[in-house]
Amino acid sequence: MTSTDTFSALRLQTGEPRPIPEVCTLNRSDLPAGEVLVAVEHSGLNYKDAMIINGLGRLVREYPHVPGIDLAGTVRESTDDRYRPGDRVLLTGWHVGERHWGGFSQYARVQGDWLTPIPDTLDARSAMIVGTAGFTAMLAVEALEQGGITPESGEILVTGASGGVGNLAIALLAALGYRVAAATGRPENTAHLEALGACSIVPRTELAERPDRPLLSERWAGVIDSVGGDTLAHALAETQARGVVAACGLAGGAELTTTVIPFLLRGIRLQGIDSVQYPANDRERVWQRIGELLSAQTLERCLAEETGLSRLPQRADALLAGQICGRVLVTPGSP
């Protein structure tokens, strides 16, 4: 690829009330500095991507900007001794797609420290069906394990079950032998969630309001929560003694109004999940484990749809509106 070779990208320009998205033609000289040039085969549309496309949360401070917090593909050029042309790599986290141009582009130039080799059990497509959502879900599952929660401990609640994190958390927990209760506000997704491994479906309305007492009847040995807000407060009040709650999202709000009573009287652990700056030296192990636990068939079940660059703004709106069940795979080479 020469400096004059062109490629397509989704670029955001400053606009009001939201950034202005456009599919544009770029060349290599337009890309930001970095040690490794990656030909991007696939990316994924995450909740954070949808926020960025809509200008929410002040996640992007400088425009023009190419979003996309995930990418997977093949190294084309590298000044990092760890990577050579032809290597298969993926990237999630490190504020790529926020502070640094991301994966909604046919090419990306990034730092070598941000890359992870794609394990033999996955390819670029399957890695991006997993993406940040699945990586986060795996870290949440490991938080339960590290807290001593086993399949024998009891039922695990997954909130926001119809979302990408929720779908993959259900699949990972089921693969490990856990009994999963899937909380969703979309009963039409019941068959899909059960196919992923959910043993029961919890209507979102049961958890949507802040509990009227510090402690409610014990229901959950562990919780993976991607909703936050009053849903997280309610789940804490229903978690069993010495249970673990992994908090990994805020789709329902960033505020948490609760009491210390569940922590003092039941010894509950509330564990935050940070997938953005998770240590680089352990990422390969986590990705290897994901590839071993999730079959190709299961990953395809987690896939809601595939799209090119031009439909991303529309799909971002649908994702924020809760209209997509599962993962959206992005192929930058498609229109």
Do 189 and 82 belong together in one domain? no
CA distances from 314 to 25, 54, 319, 321, 323 (A): 20, 10, 9, 11, 11
pLDDT at 192: 97
Last residue of a domain, one of 227, 257, 272: 272
Cβ–Cβ < 8 Å for 147, 271:
yes
CATH number, domain with residue 323? 3.90.180.10
Do 147 and 266 belong together in one domain? yes
How many distinct structural domains can be found in the chain? Answer: 2
Which H or E run includes 220? Answer: strand 220-225
Tokens matching residue 80: 């990092």
Do 40 and 150 belong together in one domain? no
pLDDT at 124: 98
Do 18 and 107 belong together in one domain? yes
pLDDT at 1: 55
Do 56 and 147 belong together in one domain? no
Percentage of residues in the chain having pLDDT higher than 70: 99
pLDDT at 270: 98
pLDDT at 2: 54
Domain that holds residue 203: 132-272
8-state DSSP, 96? B
Cβ–Cβ < 8 Å for 239, 266:
yes
Do 74 and 160 belong together in one domain? no
Do 223 and 144 belong together in one domain? yes
Q: State pTM to two decimals.
A: 0.96
Do 156 and 263 belong together in one domain? yes
pLDDT at 5: 84
Do 102 and 148 belong together in one domain? no
The ranges of the chain with pLDDT < 50 are none
pLDDT at 334: 81
Do 136 and 211 belong together in one domain? yes
Do 73 and 181 belong together in one domain? no
pLDDT at 184: 97
pLDDT at 169: 98
